[in-house]
Amino acid sequence: MPTLPSLNLLGDTAPAPVLGIDLGTTNSLVAVWEGNAPRVLSNEHGIAILPSVVSWTEDDSVVVGGAALARSKIAPDKTIHSAKRLIGRGAEDIQKAHLQLPYQVEDAKDRPMAMVRMGNRLISPIEVSAHVLSAARAQASQALERPVSDLNTAVITVPAYFDDAQRHATREAAKLAGLEVLRMVNEPTAAALAYGLQRGESSRILVYDLGGGTFDASVLQLEDGVFRVLATAGDTALGGDDIDSALVAHAAQGIQKKCGLNPLEDSSACSALRLAAERCKKNLSESTTAELSFHDPEAGIAWRETIQRKDFEALISPMVERSLKYCKHVLQDAGLQIEDLDELVLVGGSTRIPFVRQSVESYVGKEAQAGLNPDEIVALGAAVQGGVLAGANVNALLLDVTPLSLGIETVGGTVSKLVHRNSPIPCRATEGFTTFVDGQSAVKFHVVQGERELVADCRSLGEFILKGVPPMPAGLPKIGVEFTLDADGILRVKAKEERSGAAASIEIKPKHGLTDEEVESMLKCAWENAESDMQARRVSDLKTELETVLRSVRKNISLAERELSSNHWTRLREAIEDADDAADGDSPNTLQAVLGELEESAYPLAELLMNNLARETVTDRKVEEIIGGES
């Protein structure tokens, strides 16, 4: 017989809190809003950090968190970590990202969805994340002394760069864990909320988040207690994992040298070495030297080295530099100078490294906000947002931004952008379009994402067709297109022909996601194609070409003087002089002109040489050299 929900008429009827969950690549945390502040919830041992690790035991039961992490050494092939790096992506994306993962990743049988190969089974990262979220929910239930079934709503944070597919997949994981996601919040935005910066004066905030797997830099602006994210940038291959990898590589080299064995060839040794490297790294955050040691008696390996903090700093300095480069970009995107920043917020376990903190502070010229535990900040912020949604007045409203522009294809393969990159979301944009061909009764809409002008250079998100347009001469139909981007970054596109009322729409749920690398490289491409860059590149290309042609002509100059007709020789000589004069200049037009003339006037010489070469049977390569490439 179906049971009715329980009704509590006697006990206190305090509403169940909304869980704030930081579902991290490395670690997850859960917090709630209580009274007038957020609180992180710990497990029965008083530990709040829940490693985002899941392991399957011999009898196929699942362990999560610290226990799973411990198993990564004894059962590395049955333990999965960093599932967040795979979620919502295809195996191809993962390959392209060149991530160092200790397990094999392949697509699901029926679609491009990255799965982890475990023996003869494929495990989806959604399932792994669901286990982590369930564990977080159970941890909260225990800490709050409330039944798990009471806790079924959550605010979950995601990296600012997560695209639709990654957000969808995260939402699915939550659903599997019995949680309804009330809101997804970008991690940096949560961080600012955690510091209560919404209560301050008008200010501009740089959030620098260096965690285990991802790096995010974001600029937020606070106006009258309202946050606006001005810009975000990030890198998935930058974080504590990569720092560990650098130490592991260093150790492996030493071990190979001393013991003649490569520990990286054995997956269990590899996991053990990673843990040792991470321990050493953390110790170096506290002291100026730390031991990195690795013992594997079975394999006959005993190795140790004392690492100096300054050597460690030199090892990670390129990574820190890279992160600062992103900060520079993000400021540029936000249209700000470093001096315009009022606050600096450091987030993520890796910002406990003194060198990281110092480097960022010195770059920004400001001390970072302090007081909160860097690895708890995001969960605390999620709990603040949870409080807002549950009706608490925390005087904050969230606005996030879209990382890439969204638009539709127009005639000639060009893109008409409706939502521009870094637009605050949720948002709505509309634009009117018309037809190109007489009597067109159906119109195709192709939705794309990217910063470039041509469809071919952007990413296709989906297509839909508007049918039932009454036949009219081209240009007469009025078709209104509306883009709606909701708070979770999910896009709906609607098209409606005004006279007939014919309408069609699409909700974009891509088959698999856009990797952060792709977002980065698309942005980079756009930057590189800015007009000034294009001119600079053209000048430099022309100079290179000019130089190549000049060099090959000079090589044969005496032959030219000897054997060319006097007309040809004079023309060539003058062309060389003009080219020499122009070579230092920066005018693309002049360079193009002298290059053209030089190639033209060198043609008789090229012919002459070809004839000579045919006679002397010298290699083809020289012909190319003489002609100067493609002329």
Nearer to ligand ADP, 207 or 553 (CB): 207
Nearer to ligand ADP, 206 or 353 (CB): 353
| Smallest distance from ligand ADP to CB 243, Å | 7
| Smallest distance from ligand ADP to CB 244, Å | 6
Nearer to ligand ADP, 355 or 603 (CB): 355
What residue ranges bind ligand ADP (CB under 6 A)?
A: 24-27, 211-214, 239-241, 278, 281-282, 285, 348-350, 352-353, 375
Please tell me the distance from the alpha carbon of residue 354 to that of residue 343, in angstroms, as a whole number. 19
| Smallest distance from Mg ion to CB 42, Å | 18
- What does 153 bind: ligand ADP, Mg ion, none (CB cut-off 5 to 8 Å by kind)? none
Nearer to ligand ADP, 283 or 505 (CB): 283
84 is catalytic: yes
| Residue 126 token pair | 């959604």
Nearer to Mg ion, 320 or 346 (CB): 346
Nearer to Mg ion, 263 or 403 (CB): 403
486 is catalytic: no
426 cis-preceded (ω within 30 degrees of 0): yes
| Smallest distance from ligand ADP to CB 49, Å | 7
- What does 385 bind: ligand ADP, Mg ion, none (CB cut-off 5 to 8 Å by kind)? none
| Residue 631 token pair | 């002329």
Residue number closest to ligand ADP, CB atom: 240
Q: Return the range that interacts with Mg ion (CB under 5 A); candidates 140-148, 209-217, 263-271, 512-520.
A: 209-217
Please name the residues in contact with 350: beta carbons below 8 A apart, sequence gap of 6 or more. 210, 211, 212, 239, 240, 243, 356
CA within 13 Å, CB half, 504: 13
**Binding-site size, Mg ion (CB under 5 A):** 2
| Residue 323 token pair | 């992160």
Residue number closest to Mg ion, CB atom: 211
- Identified binder of Mg ion from the candidate list 17, 24, 239, 604, rule CB under 5 A: 24
Nearer to ligand ADP, 71 or 281 (CB): 281
- Could you tell me if residue 332 is left (phi over 0), alpha (psi between -120 and 50 degrees) or otherwise beta? alpha
| Smallest distance from ligand ADP to CB 160, Å | 13
- What does 604 bind: Mg ion, ligand ADP, none (CB cut-off 5 to 8 Å by kind)? none
Residues 22, 127, 518, 597: which is the catalytic one? 22
Residues 93, 187, 278, 343: which is the catalytic one? 187
- What does 285 bind: Mg ion, ligand ADP, none (CB cut-off 5 to 8 Å by kind)? ligand ADP
Does position 188 interact with Mg ion (CB under 5 A)? The reply is no
Please tell me the distance from the alpha carbon of residue 96 to that of residue 212, in angstroms, as a whole number. 20
- What does 407 bind: ligand ADP, Mg ion, none (CB cut-off 5 to 8 Å by kind)? none
- What does 140 bind: Mg ion, ligand ADP, none (CB cut-off 5 to 8 Å by kind)? none
Q: Which residue has the tokens 């399957």?
A: 56
| Smallest distance from ligand ADP to CB 434, Å | 48
Please tell me the distance from the alpha carbon of residue 418 to that of residue 504, in angstroms, as a whole number. 17
Nearer to ligand ADP, 189 or 214 (CB): 214
Q: Return the range that interacts with Mg ion (CB under 5 A); candidates 105-113, 207-215, 232-240, 435-443.
A: 207-215
Three-state DSSP at 325 gives: helix
Residues 84, 417, 494, 543: which is the catalytic one? 84
| Smallest distance from ligand ADP to CB 391, Å | 29
- What does 350 bind: Mg ion, ligand ADP, none (CB cut-off 5 to 8 Å by kind)? ligand ADP
- Could you tell me if residue 628 is left (phi over 0), alpha (psi between -120 and 50 degrees) or otherwise beta? left
- Identified binder of Mg ion from the candidate list 38, 76, 211, 510, rule CB under 5 A: 211
Nearer to ligand ADP, 217 or 542 (CB): 217
Strands (DSSP E) along 239-360, which ranges? Answer: 289-296, 301-308, 343-347
Residues 127, 163, 209, 216: which is the catalytic one? 209
375 is catalytic: no
Measuring CA to CA, how many Å separate 87 from each of 82, 114, 307? 9, 7, 35
488 is catalytic: no
Three-state DSSP at 23 gives: strand
The secondary structure of 461-481 as a DSSP string is EEEEEE--PPP--TT---EEE
Please tell me the distance from the alpha carbon of residue 294 to that of residue 471, in angstroms, as a whole number. 76
Please tell me the distance from the alpha carbon of residue 616 to that of residue 498, in angstroms, as a whole number. 76
| Smallest distance from ligand ADP to CB 280, Å | 10
Long-range CB pairs of 417-421, under 8 A, 24+ apart, other chains included:
418/481, 418/483, 419/483, 419/485, 421/333, 421/451, 421/523
- What does 76 bind: ligand ADP, Mg ion, none (CB cut-off 5 to 8 Å by kind)? none
For 285, other C-beta atoms within 10 Å of its C-beta total 18
Does position 374 interact with Mg ion (CB under 5 A)? The reply is no
| Smallest distance from ligand ADP to CB 337, Å | 28
| Residue 192 token pair | 């600012």
| Smallest distance from ligand ADP to CB 480, Å | 42
Please tell me the distance from the alpha carbon of residue 305 to that of residue 280, in angstroms, as a whole number. 10
- What does 27 bind: ligand ADP, Mg ion, none (CB cut-off 5 to 8 Å by kind)? ligand ADP
Strands (DSSP E) along 2-71, which ranges? Answer: 19-23, 27-34, 37-40, 50-51, 53-56, 62-64
- What does 403 bind: ligand ADP, Mg ion, none (CB cut-off 5 to 8 Å by kind)? none
Nearer to ligand ADP, 285 or 385 (CB): 285
Please tell me the distance from the alpha carbon of residue 306 to that of residue 137, in angstroms, as a whole number. 41
The Cα angle at residue 462 between residues 461 and 464, in degrees rounded to 5: 155
Q: Given the DSSP bridges, would you call strands 424-425 and 400-401 parallel, antiparallel or unpaired? A: antiparallel
Amino acid type, 400 = D
Alpha helices in 27-116 (DSSP H): 66-74, 91-97
What is the contact surface with Mg ion in residues (CB under 5 A)?
A: 24, 211
Q: Which residues are catalytic?
A: 22, 84, 187, 209
